[in-house]
Structure 1
Amino acid sequence: MQGRSYYAPHGGLPPQTQLLTDRAVFTEAYAVIPKGVMGDIVTSFLPFWDRTRAWILSRPLSGFAETFSQYIMEVAPGGGSERPEPDADAQGVLFVVEGELTVTIDGASHVMAPGGFAYLPPASGWTATNAGAAPVRFHWIRKAYEFVEGIDVPDAFFSRDQDVAPTPMPDTEGRWATTRFVDPDDMRHDMHVTIVTFEPGGVIPFAETHVMEHGLYVLEGKAVYRLNQDWVEVEAGDYMWLRAFCPQACYAGGPGRFRYLLYKDVNRHAKLTYR
């Protein structure tokens, strides 16, 4: 596959002359947070993180995300955290889009560059620091792990987008493929974070309607996405949240590849009570 690129927000503030009209959409079935609204004034600071700010893209909320939260973290040189995760039940996935992040777990340090992926199990005591000379920006996806008697909790592991061959979807001639960091048959995992790639002209040729909730961050390119009854244009830097059972389809018209980081909840029974 050709060289990879990953969009990362840098903040700032639009000029007073900019029109207010944008592509931001919030509905009961889906939301679109375009890159243009990810400015300085919507960032958050987090306890025990030094020289760090975060764009919080989704969080469990009535009428919004139910199973996960997703942040884009920006850590300045010398920043980081010795106590990054406050919830002992929370597992995490990190995906670096710019700069270098050093993650230490079980006494071993791992330097993650753009394309770097980490799975961090609950109560794993990991730490994160930026030992480089430039800011590091990375996605942090958090989900409360659903423990099942007789099934072990997954081990921590590190990987890279560049090292995982995408799996083509059947009958697509490689125009639609998924980079899977976890074996889909591994029942220890109750969430998958993958990268979906469409070559120009690739499509999701039907309205997917399923129980999995989604978070999608566009890493590269542009496309039109069908969300519920609407077609929306999305491009690198945009974020989409899709509620469970929200119909979805996609057409990637080009001129380049369309790639996004995808979250979904998997491999567990549906709860029979809400909350």
Structure 2
Amino acid sequence: MGYLNNNTGYISDLLASRSIIKRGNYALITPDGLVKNIIPGFENCDVTILSTPKLGATFVDYLVTLHQDGGNNIGFGGDGVETFVYVIDGAIKARAGEQSFTLTQGGYLYCPPDTAMTFINNHSQDSRLFLYKRRYIPANGHKAHIVSGNVNQLERIEYEGMSDVILQDLLPKDLGFDMNMHILSFTPGASHGYIETHVQEHGAYILSGQGVYNLDNEWIPVKQGDYIFMGAYSLQAGYGVGRGEAFSYIYSKDCNRDVEI
């Protein structure tokens, strides 16, 4: 195990961190202090585990750097666990059952719970991935299926009628799916229309820009490379700041299911 940013040895300042952990409520996890995890099946990879049930999430998020020929060839997910991979940068070759996919920056692949995913770095430079898994919740008469695409070909939707907030839906609005992945982008100065409160959880990786996020009524500065966990009923909203670059993040959302009691 080592640090993801490869900073080692003595520091020249006080020990400090922007990270905040409120288990079951919310978390801000910054790149500094993240560690590399050794996980069976991942070869020549730096794997960092982000949200897990230990934090209060019903899913697991990972940040994965694939070095040359790095990947997972034994299978990720399946046996009731759905998976999703998004290419932050680089290029990978992925498989879902008998289907193969070449995914470049912005490319993604969803595998339903009966299909394991494999992937390998597809070029000599490192590739970085945002990886997700969750135990699938079935619904009678409905079934999820393999989905692949690239955000550069997706519709850009004005979020709730706001032209400076753009939403992209990565998965179909279909009752076969118990979750979705979205990308939300704010031009500097744009914001949510209100502070949200809902039962859905989110795991969000910030792809670009800077923002200020309301997490349980605490306004917290965030930026590219940060990760946010938002638990059920955690108050949440954000707005973009900075100069020119959009504040953009990819995030998961559980959906399309009733609450069990």
- Length-normalised TM-score, structure 2: 0.92
Rounded to whole Å, the distance in 1 between the matches of 2:33 and 2:183 is: 23
Structure 2 unaligned blocks of 5 or more: none
Instruction: Identify the residue that residue 3 of structure 1 maps to in structure 2.
Output: none
Instruction: Identify the residue that residue 25 of structure 1 maps to in structure 2.
Output: 20
Alignment of 1:93-108 (within 5 A): 93-108=84-99
Rounded to whole Å, the distance in 2 between the matches of 1:94 and 1:86 is: 11
CA contact (8 A) 1:65 1:241 kept: no
1:85 corresponds, among 59, 68, 76, to 76
1:228 corresponds, among 216, 220, 240, to 216
Alignment of 1:237-256 (within 5 A): 237-255=225-243, 256=245
1:147 corresponds, among 126, 138, 155, to 138
Structure 1 residue 83 displacement after superposition: 1.5
Specify the code of the residue in structure 1 equivalent to 2:7: L
Specify the code of the residue in structure 2 equivalent to 1:26: I
Q: Which runs of 4+ in 1 moved over 4 A?
A: none
Pairwise CA RMSD: 1.7
Shift in CA distance, 171/125, structure 1 to aligned 2, threshold 3 Å: closer
Structure 1 residue 81 displacement after superposition: 2.1
Structure 1 unaligned blocks of 5 or more: 1-8
Structure 1 residue 46 displacement after superposition: 1.2
Q: Tell me, what secondary structure is at the counterpart of 1:35?
A: coil
Structure 1 residue 126 displacement after superposition: 2.9
Rounded to whole Å, the distance in 1 between the matches of 2:117 and 2:27 is: 31
Specify the code of the residue in structure 1 equivalent to 2:38: F
Instruction: Identify the residue that residue 137 of structure 1 maps to in structure 2.
Output: 128
Q: Tell me, what secondary structure is at the counterpart of 2:93?
A: strand
Sequence identity of aligned pairs in percent? 26
CA contact (8 A) 2:186 2:246 kept: yes
Structure 1 residue 175 displacement after superposition: 1.1
Rounded to whole Å, the distance in 1 between the matches of 2:161 and 2:122 is: 45
Structure 1 residue 178 displacement after superposition: 0.8
Structure 1 residue 214 displacement after superposition: 0.8
Instruction: Identify the residue that residue 7 of structure 2 maps to in structure 1.
Output: 13
Instruction: Identify the residue that residue 175 of structure 1 maps to in structure 2.
Output: 164
Rounded to whole Å, the distance in 2 between the matches of 1:11 and 1:239 is: 15
CA contact (8 A) 1:205 1:250 kept: no
CA contact (8 A) 2:77 2:115 kept: no
Instruction: Identify the residue that residue 6 of structure 1 maps to in structure 2.
Output: none
Rounded to whole Å, the distance in 1 between the matches of 2:73 and 2:114 is: 13
Instruction: Identify the residue that residue 46 of structure 2 maps to in structure 1.
Output: 53
| Residue 57 of structure 2 corresponds to residue 66 of structure 1 | yes
Alignment of 1:196-235 (within 5 A): 196-235=184-223
| Residue 154 of structure 2 corresponds to residue 161 of structure 1 | no
1:128 corresponds, among 109, 112, 119, to 119
Rounded to whole Å, the distance in 2 between the matches of 1:27 and 1:181 is: 29
Provide, for residues 94-136 of structure 1, a one-character-per-residue CA deviation record: whole Å limited to 9, x for no partner. Answer: 0001211100223332111111111111131332112311121
Instruction: Identify the residue that residue 104 of structure 2 maps to in structure 1.
Output: 113
| Residue 32 of structure 2 corresponds to residue 36 of structure 1 | yes
Shift in CA distance, 108/233, structure 1 to aligned 2, threshold 3 Å: same
Between Structure 1 and Structure 2, which shows a larger proportion of strand residues? 2
Shift in CA distance, 170/20, structure 1 to aligned 2, threshold 3 Å: same
CA contact (8 A) 2:78 2:112 kept: no
Structure 1 residue 183 displacement after superposition: 2.9
Q: Tell me, what secondary structure is at the counterpart of 1:36?
A: coil
CA contact (8 A) 2:111 2:146 kept: yes
Q: Tell me, what secondary structure is at the counterpart of 1:128?
A: strand
